[in-house]
Structure 1
């Protein structure tokens, strides 16, 4: 009979009639559970004491743990004690056995995952892990690593690796990265989907990891270097950077031979010879022309700009942040009034969404994103200079954090090594050369070395472990660009920019520093890229027909339609 029934179900599994039958069946089962009807087992759970009724058949079908329990002699008892799971968590997971859903929160996800592992509820485990990954900023990555070590959950381990591959540039700069074991780092580096701009990014990450404990990691270095797409480097890079590393001489020689001797490639044993499937990066510029706002996209292959979208915006002086494919417009002025407004525009589907407003109206403020949180710093409310700081997360909304040491407006903010740096700006005492650093772990601001000059509305970017700064507004024939070294807490000047390239904003692309200048008399905006080896600026295609642009953001080119 059982075989016949199973065959019938299989034949009907795709029919609407069968679907309707299963829906009615499950609805009745839910009814029995809600009404505690036909209950045949009761669990007595401690911490705190509670009684949880259920149906053996449903639980046994949902979990091997319950199936084995009920087939055991002790499992025949109508009352069963559970001592190693919190009563509230246990009841939530029993409910999960009936409807496949459970209320998971940042506060209970650890207990839920551990209990789901004990009860062998694979679907609940998956739900907990998926929740953790999507809420990693609130839960914290460090806590996720700790949980993975405690539970040895394979699903969590795999999902963390996927997250690390997707967010490799950020992860590789965190302290936790330095403690990755060789096996984990190897799995990440081998991935064709490793989210890096250039192969040098992966090389730099390996070197940071290796230098953290050279004696213990020297033996593993050749294995990790072999995970790089070595044939994507030029011969000079291989000769000067790979060949001198202990144990990597052969790797370098093989890759150089591969590049220089195509006919010999069949005799060369290389692990990876093709490039990764990395997303190429490009720029989007928010451009204003009178009251029209639109986005221009940079076509790197053709070195030209093309329109990507038109934006409906009826206010000005907003600040922007790019987060999860959304361009977020924060604060600004509407009809001469400073606003709290926060709106999000999705780059992929080109739609608007209203987000929770800030606690404080702001214009001339500083905006920066760190670890999934957006910070709105200082600015003006009417004529009042602000020192207040607030940050936004989707789960919490806007919340206040520690105030600036010195209030300011029209400065600039940047993130480096897990901290926020703010530079320059102005207040009631005039333009500033003051620099402050915010540590989110301690929620404190500290003063850093002053810039060499006061800078109003400077353009600032972090690049290769340093901070670069120049002015947007300069009347001089040439203006200075200076670079901050956080290790030495010191500033040094680099090659000046011509006056026609004043008012610049720098962004990293192709592991280089790009600068975007202002409109000149012919309404054309200059673009240049910094040649670090020769300390000079190289002109690129200009941005056309610009009265003003408000931001430049790097995005993944291959995902744009």
Structure 2
């Protein structure tokens, strides 16, 4: 068959030959469209009425909307009516299916985006959003806000956030800024990429926003001030400008204490202690920090230049079942269990100064759960004993429950992509107690997606294999899952396409299955874990996308890898 793995691999090994083939093929396909040759479907579109010819195969490949349409009741009809899209807009998007290009103007960009969303044409949607943002001054930012509100387009939302961050000074002087909601302003102010030359610029913007409606906004003021890098201000500024603000006295005093008394810094709970642009998520050359074993874990750091690992620190923890996440310059240890007791505790370990802080505990005690961060919010999902509950943490509101999973699960994998959370695999509790011999903990292939805007979980296509405690990462618009699957001799790898809602298996990782983690370093997918032939060590491999294979790197001198994080090298050598 044309889709056999050997032929696919042959094409991928010769990318230049593949490119020439695809260019020739697409040129021929477009000539068929341009000449209306071999047409097998015609659309009758309104406003004004027009007939638009096309090829089913091309449209189905370009959009799930057309794929479902042609597989449905109207699939074989020679003429199909489209009533909710203007004919000119529809024809431009059909052309995009063939060429990857469409004539977009400031006047039609809103209609084009709405139609691309209806037709589930994600590539066109991305292109339209890019066009809009390059002409934001002509289109106007207020119009972009309105369009994002009407379409609920996540891509547009993220692009607007990037624009607000890069053009903060200009936006803070606009009339639209005065009507920003407090949560929206918080989201902008916490960014390490906020384009300001000094922290006072952000403070001035908060003052302008606050003075516009003092009675209503007084309660939110401390939340916004807490987004500032307070330790970057001079003491006089803190005492004359920050301390007098209602609800901000403690924030000012903690910042002053941090500046004046370095010895008390480990005991001072400050949200931000570094200037913008130098946090663990944004600065300099980056490397990998691996958390190895659960009880008294060791942190191993990777030296890219010498391709070797060395111990960074050893942490004193006498319980297991927790989950870790990187937040700014801190590793958060969330939940866990010991001696048959499950915990709701949350502890923060600062990577720079190697000190602990206690954070507010979760509502639900959890172990073997999943944790992810999305939009500066931390989510704790599921857990042992069939938990389906999900809770979300923010520094302003603490832990709050959100909608529960469809299937309670533990030892699953979770990752964020395109503003949503995906959770996959793991185990669930079997409810049928009639069969004494049936294992009540069943592996599952199911996948769920959480949309924070609608606070809903929806089912996605099942994985092809079972995976428990897999390594998971989002890379170039796809989700990669690495785990034992149904095999016991190597690590199976699956890749999910969210646009098509499909899973496909890719080349396996030829290592003995074991604990494994995935990270992205230098825009490459790294798999860390799986047992090597050397007892007590873990494998490290990098996915070579051009040659469709895994390349081995230096073994990690630890047996169990709990998690891995990408951090700036300067963070690990700052002490």
> Structure 2 length as normaliser, TM-score?
0.50
Partner residue, 2:288: 283
CA 129–389 in structure 1, closer or farther in 2 if over 3 Å, else same: closer
CA offset at residue 288 of structure 1?
2.7
CA offset at residue 355 of structure 1?
0.6
Instruction: Give the alignment of 1:133-144 within 5 angstroms.
Output: 133-134=227-228
| Aligned mate of 1:438, from 450, 464, 471 | 450
In structure 2, stretches of 5+ residues that fail to align are: 1-177, 179-201, 230-276, 431-441
Corresponding position: 1:524 with 2:529: no
Corresponding position: 1:406 with 2:411: no
Give CA-to-partner distance per residue, 1:331-389, whole Å, 9 cap, x none.
11123311111100011111100011111111111111111111110012xxx311000
Partner residue, 1:425: 426
Instruction: Give the alignment of 1:44-83 within 5 angstroms.
Output: none
3-state SS in 2 of match to 1:558 = helix
CA 132–340 in structure 1, closer or farther in 2 if over 3 Å, else same: closer
Cα distance between partner residues in 1 of 2:507 and 2:333: 33
Higher gyration radius (CA):
1
Q: Is the 8 A contact 1:474 1:502 kept in 2?
A: no
Corresponding position: 1:361 with 2:361: no
CA 307–473 in structure 1, closer or farther in 2 if over 3 Å, else same: farther
Give CA-to-partner distance per residue, 1:290-316, whole Å, 9 cap, x none.
x43221111111111111112111111
CA offset at residue 131 of structure 1?
2.7
Cα distance between partner residues in 2 of 1:315 and 1:487: 40
Give CA-to-partner distance per residue, 1:28-55, whole Å, 9 cap, x none.
xxxxxxxxxxxxxxxxxxxxxxxxxxxx
Partner residue, 2:167: none
CA 453–540 in structure 1, closer or farther in 2 if over 3 Å, else same: same
CA 128–550 in structure 1, closer or farther in 2 if over 3 Å, else same: closer
3-state SS in 2 of match to 1:348 = coil
Partner residue, 1:267: none
Partner residue, 2:480: 468
Q: Is the 8 A contact 1:332 1:362 kept in 2?
A: yes
CA 432–129 in structure 1, closer or farther in 2 if over 3 Å, else same: closer
3-state SS in 2 of match to 1:331 = strand
Give CA-to-partner distance per residue, 1:100-121, whole Å, 9 cap, x none.
xxxx99xx977514369xxxxx
CA 114–386 in structure 1, closer or farther in 2 if over 3 Å, else same: same
Partner residue, 2:396: 395
Cα distance between partner residues in 1 of 2:336 and 2:530: 21
Partner residue, 1:333: 337
| Aligned mate of 1:371, from 350, 353, 375 | 375
Cα distance between partner residues in 2 of 1:435 and 1:537: 26
Cα distance between partner residues in 2 of 1:557 and 1:548: 23
Partner residue, 2:328: 324
CA offset at residue 130 of structure 1?
6.6
Cα distance between partner residues in 2 of 1:490 and 1:360: 33
Instruction: Give the alignment of 1:451-490 within 5 angstroms.
Output: 451-471=463-483, 475-490=487-502
Larger deviation, residues 421-430 vs 513-522: 513-522
Q: Is the 8 A contact 1:460 1:506 kept in 2?
A: yes
CA offset at residue 194 of structure 1?
11
Ranges of 4+ aligned residues in structure 1 off by more than 4 Å: 108-111, 127-130, 132-135, 193-197, 472-475
Instruction: Give the alignment of 1:130-209 within 5 angstroms.
Output: 131=225, 133-134=227-228
Cα distance between partner residues in 1 of 2:443 and 2:470: 11
3-state SS in 2 of match to 1:389 = strand
In structure 1, stretches of 5+ residues that fail to align are: 1-84, 86-103, 117-123, 136-192, 198-276
3-state SS in 1 of match to 2:297 = strand
CA 280–501 in structure 1, closer or farther in 2 if over 3 Å, else same: farther
CA 531–195 in structure 1, closer or farther in 2 if over 3 Å, else same: farther
Q: Is the 8 A contact 2:495 2:504 kept in 1?
A: yes
Partner residue, 1:345: 349
Partner residue, 2:507: 495
Cα distance between partner residues in 2 of 1:417 and 1:443: 15
CA offset at residue 477 of structure 1?
2.8
Partner residue, 2:554: 541
Give CA-to-partner distance per residue, 1:469-505, whole Å, 9 cap, x none.
1215765333421111111111111111114365432
Partner residue, 2:247: none
Instruction: Give the alignment of 1:228-239 within 5 angstroms.
Output: none
Cα distance between partner residues in 2 of 1:468 and 1:299: 25
3-state SS in 1 of match to 2:352 = coil
Partner residue, 1:514: 526
Partner residue, 1:416: 417
CA 134–523 in structure 1, closer or farther in 2 if over 3 Å, else same: same
Q: Is the 8 A contact 1:463 1:513 kept in 2?
A: yes
Corresponding position: 1:313 with 2:320: no
CA offset at residue 327 of structure 1?
0.3
Q: Is the 8 A contact 2:412 2:468 kept in 1?
A: yes
3-state SS in 2 of match to 1:349 = coil
| Aligned mate of 2:563, from 537, 545, 551 | 551
Cα distance between partner residues in 1 of 2:280 and 2:334: 28
CA 288–375 in structure 1, closer or farther in 2 if over 3 Å, else same: same
Q: Is the 8 A contact 2:280 2:568 kept in 1?
A: no
Cα distance between partner residues in 2 of 1:547 and 1:503: 8
Cα distance between partner residues in 2 of 1:547 and 1:395: 39
| Aligned mate of 2:210, from 112, 116, 127 | 112
3-state SS in 1 of match to 2:396 = coil
Cα distance between partner residues in 2 of 1:444 and 1:115: 34
CA 340–115 in structure 1, closer or farther in 2 if over 3 Å, else same: closer
CA offset at residue 133 of structure 1?
4.8
Q: Is the 8 A contact 1:465 1:485 kept in 2?
A: yes
Cα distance between partner residues in 2 of 1:343 and 1:451: 33
CA 473–449 in structure 1, closer or farther in 2 if over 3 Å, else same: closer
Partner residue, 1:297: 301
CA offset at residue 399 of structure 1?
0.6
Give CA-to-partner distance per residue, 1:260-312, whole Å, 9 cap, x none.
xxxxxxxxxxxxxxxxx9511111111238x4322111111111111111211
